[in-house]
């Protein structure tokens, strides 16, 4: 029995150590929703589902990650109140709010399930603004659709588009980013371009005039990475230098609370920047050494540095050195980040459960979010039987060997004990348990612990 118990403990340790290390990419761009794609290609969402952002056919919120469909070939995702995602086969899918045609399906009818955008299978990059969408195909062409009130589609008009519309004739677009009402892009020649709303200088054009066609920012040809927030932008050059422009009302440019600027300005003298993300009024950047730096608005702890005080210069979030990717909300106040080991952390506003921890409590330090999966129960040889499984209300326990039971526990996939029953019985009433996957642990008087995978309908 001791050997079996040690095996269970070992497998449990392996399970929980690998439990959080399964994420491939994440997105917190949406106001109150977070998305994650696991390394197995499955897509997960948590937080607010008011506009059908989960794509699961409902508008019910979730405080923990839930899977979107059964597909396992999701590759990239970008979201606000509407969601765009690319599969590994190059097809493009959309769901959520469609008031301005931002789903690209030729209508203004919203959808609570993923619908394919056209039939093309050569989509490469996507970027979602508040109510508009940008995309690049594998042939380097640029496409846009949805709201165009500020000229953010870049087609030379201010007319909304209900279907993907090619922007210009260039076929050398490399990357894109979409803000509230402006758009930003880099070409393969290293030039940077912007269009749309320019009320706060977010186009970087040395003026405050909107434009409805792409215009080049400066003459530099060394731009490498970009990130658009609500009304400000961050960019990294191939040299590793960091640049910012647009709104600076909350110190989000990181330049010491100088006024908003309509020209890209270098932030500090460091040339070791690797990744950037621009939120609503907050900024995030990762250096080559894996450290994460933040600045801007922090009233909900969205900077993740342990307090709620805003910062007008970039400061390290903590001493950890294995941050690899960062995504922040353009519509509100939360962030999510990946580490180099594939683990995921969330922090900031949690009003709708967008941090995925099962609560609605804000967090001003990073919270480790485990993977929603179950792995180790199949390795344990059990002497008890459970039925029915999946269960709706009553779970019956078959104990043909009349084993003396010390306790029965039901644990969720985050390790939280939900039910503990110390009296021997042949059934459990689970009618109050939420639908999902759980671990049922049974310990007998001879110290034998057995585990079961339990599915609650």
Per-residue pLDDT band for 20 (boundaries 50, 70, 90) equals low
Count of helix runs (H) and strand runs (E) in the chain: 1, 35
216 close to 187: Cβ distance less than 8 angstroms:
no
Per-residue pLDDT band for 10 (boundaries 50, 70, 90) equals very low
Q: Which among 247, 226, 250 is positioned nearest to 237, based on CA atoms?
A: 226
DSSP 271: -
CA angle at residue 105 from 101 to 108, to 5 degrees? 35
423 close to 384: Cβ distance less than 8 angstroms:
no
Report how far residue 260's alpha carbon sits from residue 105's, in angstroms, rounded to the nearest whole number.
Answer: 37
Per-residue pLDDT band for 239 (boundaries 50, 70, 90) equals very high
Contacts of 174 (CB under 8 A, 6+ apart): 136, 140, 185, 186, 187, 188
- What is residue 417's predicted lDDT score, i.e. its pLDDT? 81
Q: Which among 437, 428, 415, 441 is positioned nearest to 20, based on CA atoms?
A: 415
- What is residue 64's predicted lDDT score, i.e. its pLDDT? 92
> How much is the pTM?
0.80
Instruction: For residue 414, count CB atoms less than 10 angstroms from its CB and return exposed for 0-12, middle for 13-18, buried for 19 or more.
Output: middle
Give 188-211 pLDDT, tens digit per residue.
999 999 999 999 999 999 999 999
Kindly calculate the radius of gyration of the chain based on its CA atoms and give it in whole angstroms. Answer: 24
Give 106-134 pLDDT, tens digit per residue.
999 999 999 999 999 999 999 999 999 99
Instruction: For residue 239, count CB atoms less than 10 angstroms from its CB and return exposed for 0-12, middle for 13-18, buried for 19 or more.
Output: exposed
Domain boundaries, the chain: 2-10+374-456, 20-369
- What is residue 74's predicted lDDT score, i.e. its pLDDT? 97
Give 396-418 pLDDT, tens digit per residue.
777 766 777 888 888 876 667 88
Q: Which among 207, 210, 267, 209 is positioned nearest to 233, based on CA atoms?
A: 267
- What is residue 383's predicted lDDT score, i.e. its pLDDT? 59
Instruction: For residue 50, count CB atoms less than 10 angstroms from its CB and return exposed for 0-12, middle for 13-18, buried for 19 or more.
Output: middle
Output the six-digit token pair for 76.
Answer: 């990239």
- What is residue 4's predicted lDDT score, i.e. its pLDDT? 38
Per-residue pLDDT band for 322 (boundaries 50, 70, 90) equals very high
Comparing 451 with 117, the larger pLDDT belongs to 117
- What is residue 8's predicted lDDT score, i.e. its pLDDT? 37
Q: Which among 213, 357, 337, 343 is positioned nearest to 279, based on CA atoms?
A: 337
Q: Which among 159, 223, 134, 147 is positioned nearest to 186, based on CA atoms?
A: 223
Q: Give the bridge partners for 34, in sequence order.
A: 46
Per-residue pLDDT band for 166 (boundaries 50, 70, 90) equals very high
Mean pLDDT to the nearest integer, 24-51: 95
Per-residue pLDDT band for 39 (boundaries 50, 70, 90) equals confident
Per-residue pLDDT band for 295 (boundaries 50, 70, 90) equals very high
247 close to 231: Cβ distance less than 8 angstroms:
yes
Report how far residue 142's alpha carbon sits from residue 194's, in angstroms, rounded to the nearest whole number.
Answer: 13
- What is residue 435's predicted lDDT score, i.e. its pLDDT? 84
Comparing 236 with 433, the larger pLDDT belongs to 236
- What is residue 442's predicted lDDT score, i.e. its pLDDT? 81
Q: Which CATH class for the 20-369 domain?
A: mainly beta
Mean pLDDT to the nearest integer, 18-42: 87
From 121-130, 168-177, 324-333, the region with the lowest mean pLDDT: 324-333
290 close to 324: Cβ distance less than 8 angstroms:
yes
**Residue whose token pair is 């008890």:** 384
Tell whether domain 2-10+374-456 is in CATH 1.20.120.1200. Answer: no
Mean pLDDT to the nearest integer, 341-345: 92
> What is the share, in percent, of the chain residues with pLDDT greater than 70?
90
Q: Which among 450, 422, 358, 432 is positioned nearest to 395, based on CA atoms?
A: 432
- What is residue 80's predicted lDDT score, i.e. its pLDDT? 96
Q: Give the bridge partners for 347, in sequence order.
A: 335
Report how far residue 155's alpha carbon sits from residue 265's, in angstroms, rounded to the nearest whole number.
Answer: 28
Rank 114-123, 374-383, 443-452 by mean pLDDT and report only the highest.
114-123
């Amino acid at each position: 029995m001791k050997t079996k118990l040690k095996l269970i403990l070992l497998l449990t340790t392996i399970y929980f150590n690998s439990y959080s290390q399964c994420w491939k990419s994440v997105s917190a761009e949406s106001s109150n929703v977070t998305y994650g794609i696991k390394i197995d290609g499955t897509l997960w969402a948590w937080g607010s589902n008011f506009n059908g952002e989960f794509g699961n056919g409902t508008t019910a919120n979730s405080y923990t990650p839930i899977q979107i469909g059964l597909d396992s070939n999701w590759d990239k995702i970008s979201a606000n109140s509407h969601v765009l995602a690319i599969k590994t086969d190059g097809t493009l899918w959309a769901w959520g709010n469609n008031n301005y045609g931002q789903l690209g399906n030729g209508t203004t009818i919203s959808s609570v399930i993923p619908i394919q955008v056209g039939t093309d299978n050569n989509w490469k990059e996507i970027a979602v603004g508040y109510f508009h969408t940008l995309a690049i195909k594998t042939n380097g062409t640029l496409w846009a659709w949805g709201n165009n009130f500020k000229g953010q589609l870049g087609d030379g008009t201010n007319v909304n588009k209900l279907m993907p519309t090619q922007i210009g004739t260039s076929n050398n677009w490399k990357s894109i980013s979409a803000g509230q009402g402006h758009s930003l892009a880099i070409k393969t020649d290293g030039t940077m371009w912007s269009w749309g709303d320019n009320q706060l200088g977010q186009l970087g054009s040395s003026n405050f005039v909107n434009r409805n066609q792409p215009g080049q920012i400066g003459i530099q040809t060394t731009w490498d990475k970009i990130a658009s927030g609500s009304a400000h932008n961050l960019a990294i050059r191939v040299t590793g230098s960091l640049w910012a422009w647009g709104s600076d009302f909350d110190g989000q440019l990181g330049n010491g609370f100088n006024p908003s600027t309509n020209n890209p300005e270098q932030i500090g003298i460091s040339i070791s920047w690797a990744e950037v993300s621009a939120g609503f009024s907050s900024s995030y950047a990762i250096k080559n050494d894996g450290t994460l730096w933040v600045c801007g608005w922090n009233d909900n702890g969205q900077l993740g540095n342990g307090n709620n005080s805003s910062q007008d210069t970039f400061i390290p979030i903590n001493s950890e050195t294995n941050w690899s990717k960062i995504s922040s909300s353009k519509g509100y106040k939360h962030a999510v980040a990946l580490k180099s080991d594939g683990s995921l952390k969330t922090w900031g506003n949690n009003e709708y459960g967008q941090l995925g921890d099962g609560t609605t409590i804000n967090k001003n330090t990073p919270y480790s979010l485990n993977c929603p999966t179950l792995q180790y129960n199949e390795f344990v040889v059990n002497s008890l039987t459970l039925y029915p499984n999946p269960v709706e209300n009553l779970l019956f326990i078959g104990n043909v060997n009349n084993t003396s039971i010390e306790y029965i526990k039901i644990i969720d996939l985050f390790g939280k004990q939900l039910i503990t029953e110390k009296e021997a019985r042949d059934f459990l009433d689970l009618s109050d348990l939420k639908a999902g996957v759980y671990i049922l642990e049974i310990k007998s008087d001879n110290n034998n612990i057995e585990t079961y995978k339990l599915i609650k309908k």
